[in-house]
Structure formats: structure tokens, C-alpha cells
Amino acid sequence: MQPGFFDLESRHQQLEQLGDPLPKLSELVDWGGFRPLLDRIREKERKSAAGRKPYDIVLMFKILFLQSFYGLGDDQTEYQIRDRYSFCRFLGLTPEGKVPDAKTIWLFREALKEADLIDELFAELDGQIWAAGYQSRKGQIVDASLIAAPRQRNSREENAKIKQGETPEDWKENPAKLRQKDVEARWTQKNGENHYGYKNHISIDNQHKLIRHFEVTSAEVHDSQVFDCLIDEENTSRAVWADSAYRSRSTEAWLEEEGYRSHIHTKGQAGKPLSEAQQRANKKRSSVR
């Protein structure tokens, strides 16, 4: 039997009962209000009406939000939109509707970067979340995740120039080719595996689990190098959690100097805060000792 409207609505209700946060974010944020800012990247008039019509600009921004919220690469974002009912509903797409592919997502993000709009857009987004009563509370969790990028088929000479911060001459002469090249992604190794792309560094508040600050770097940048940029000074608690990758004497000294309580884990511990029950149990054990 073909699934009907009420079958899909029932699935959505079940997802909400299981804790899907996206419907609440749809209500809290005026997504259409971002259109004037986003339209800056499409100010140039199209020379022809031929070709495929571009995807709605607010839809594309919401896709970038999903990427940031769930720490996804471009390929994974395309896959998850096609696969997840919750993503389709958040984006206003039907399960059988057209979905932007990974290349389209990458090109849109590059256009925002070129127009220097990403920070402005996410600052406005954070402001709307705060205004709705979702202030940063109960401390913050700092983390980083690798974001895969399409591997480039460059020659050794081209890669050497990119590493030196230069652009190969034949790319300069071919703007269409240059637009298709990613010159900022880099290789790194984690747990013995090679990864190519970027690293998404985030800080989320412990109560609402919402991203408050983020930085995107190439993959080889160590987590600790952007740690202080991620700290949210407006959180109601001074507690900071992170995994062992962030632990160093300089980081601990900086946190103490700035008045934060470090919960950065030593190697082998899980990089997440203890539950309130666990914290109470630990306090009891400490008092007995």
C-alpha cells in the first residue's frame, strides 16, 4: 500500500516523542527573516533563464545549520536528508522531493564564505535562540569532529603550490575550473586512519545542547589551537568539559586564570559531562574520604 499523509504525520509525532529537537527549532527561529542577508550572494542577475533553477536560499541555509548541529560532511548531509524523515520535515521537503547534492551544498557554503556572511548569519541565529529563552546554562562542552571533503585529483606540482598558499597558473586562467577546486582542505590522521577535509570545532551549552560558538579549520589543525575561541563567556556556569585532546598545562592555566572550572578529561576518559546523579555520587564519595 502507498503511504498516506496520516502515516507520515504519525511517523513525525513518534519522532517528536523520541526527542527530535528540530520541530522546536522550526518554531523558535524566524528562518524566513534570514532571506535579506542570504540574498546578497545572489545579487548578480542571471544572464539567462536557461538551466536548472537554484534551490531556495533559505532551504540551503537550513541545510548548513543541520550540518553544524549534527557535525556532518557534505556527502553525509546529502545522504541524511534523503534518509531521515526528521530532516525532510525540518527542510520542508517531501521524502520523494529533490535534494541538493553534496557539490551544491559545498558551493553554497563557499559563496557564503566569499561574501563573509557565515559569522553574521550564525550570530543572528544565536540571538533569536537567546531571545526565545534558550540561554546558555549549566556549563559548556567543547568538541571537534572531522568533516570529509571530496578528494582532489591534483598533480604533485599543483598540490605543492596549494600547500605554499599559491594558486596553480592554469587554474587562474580557467575561472570555471578554479571554482570547482577546494584549496583549503587538508589531510590528517586519526586513530591510524587518513582523513581529508575540514574540522568543525564547537561549543555547546550543557542544558539545551545548542551550539553557541563554532570554528571551521582545515583538518590538520589540532583541537587545542582554537580552544579559547570557542569558550562562551555568557554561559551561566563556569564549568567546561572537553576530551583529553584539549588537555595541556597552558589550557588548564588559562581556564583557572579566567575563572573557569576545568573538567577536561585525562586520556581514556569519555569526553562528556557526568549526569547530576553521578556528580552527587562523586561528591558523597569525596566527603567520605
For residue 181, which amino acid is it? Answer: K
One DSSP character per residue, 234-268 reads T-SS-EEEE-GGG--HHHHHHHHHHT-EEEEPPTT
Using alpha carbons only, how large is the chain's radius of gyration in Å? 22
Per the DSSP assignment, residues forming a β-bridge with 132 are none
How does residue 114 score in pLDDT terms, banded at 50, 70 and 90? confident
Q: What is the pLDDT of residues 36-74, one digit of tens each?
A: 999 998 865 455 555 568 899 999 999 999 988 887 888
pLDDT tens for each residue of 176-212? 777 777 888 888 998 889 998 889 899 999 888 888 8
Instruction: Kindly report, residue by residue over 63-108, the tens digit of the pLDDT.
Output: 999 988 887 888 889 999 998 888 988 999 987 788 999 989 988 9
Query: What mean pLDDT is predicted for residues 156-162?
Result: 83
The H helix count followed by the E strand count for the chain is 14, 6
Q: What is the pTM of this model?
A: 0.66
Question: In this predicted model, what pLDDT tens digit does every residue of 26-40 receive, in sequence order?
Answer: 888 999 999 999 999
User: Cell 545549520, residue?
Assistant: 65
Domains in the chain, CATH or no CATH each: 5-131 (no CATH), 140-149+198-288 (3.30.420.10)
Element of type H or E holding 211: strand 211-218
